[in-house]
Amino acid sequence: MSENLLEFTDAGFESDVLGADKPVLVDFWATWCGPCKALTPTVEKLAGEFAGRIAVGKMDIQSHPLTAGKLGIRSIPALLFFKNGQVVDSLMGAASEDKIRDKMESVLG
């Protein structure tokens, strides 16, 4: 993973995402998910583009199933946008780079 792309865990989710002082994009994925793997380079690119403004990270739902369960993640890839500890937007499935970027800009307001 790139230096701007974080890795979120069940143990750190509350402090790293819900307690973050800036918006956070979480990419819920799994190693066996082809569309998830295909989306990774796009998410990495946008993490660099928005560095310092939005924290961007991935969360492997197989290794860290508790948070995905609490948030009702039923299919992946799932991109959830958090602001002030709340989900403010989401994208399900393999979204385009432009669509993800538009959502990120919207979250920044």
> Which pairs count as long-range contacts for 45-53, CB under 8 Å and 24+ apart, including other chains?
45/97, 46/97, 46/100, 46/101, 46/104, 47/2, 47/4, 47/5, 47/6, 48/2, 48/4, 49/101, 50/104, 51/4, 53/22, 53/23, 53/108
Instruction: Return the amino acid letter for 60.
Output: D
Tell me which residues of the chain have a pLDDT lower than 70: 1-2
Q: Which residues contact 56 (CB under 8 A, 6 or more apart)?
A: 4, 5, 6, 24, 25, 27, 43, 46, 47, 50
This prediction has a pTM of 0.95
pLDDT the model gives residue 3: 84
The answer to whether 79 and 94 are in contact (CB under 8 A) is: no
Structural domain of 24 = 5-108
Task: Quote the pLDDT of residue 10.
Answer: 97
- The CATH number of the domain holding residue 15 is 3.40.30.10
Number of domains in the chain: 1
Residues with a catalytic annotation lie at 33, 36
pLDDT for the residue 56: 98
- φ, ψ of residue 66 in degrees (nearest 5): -65, -50
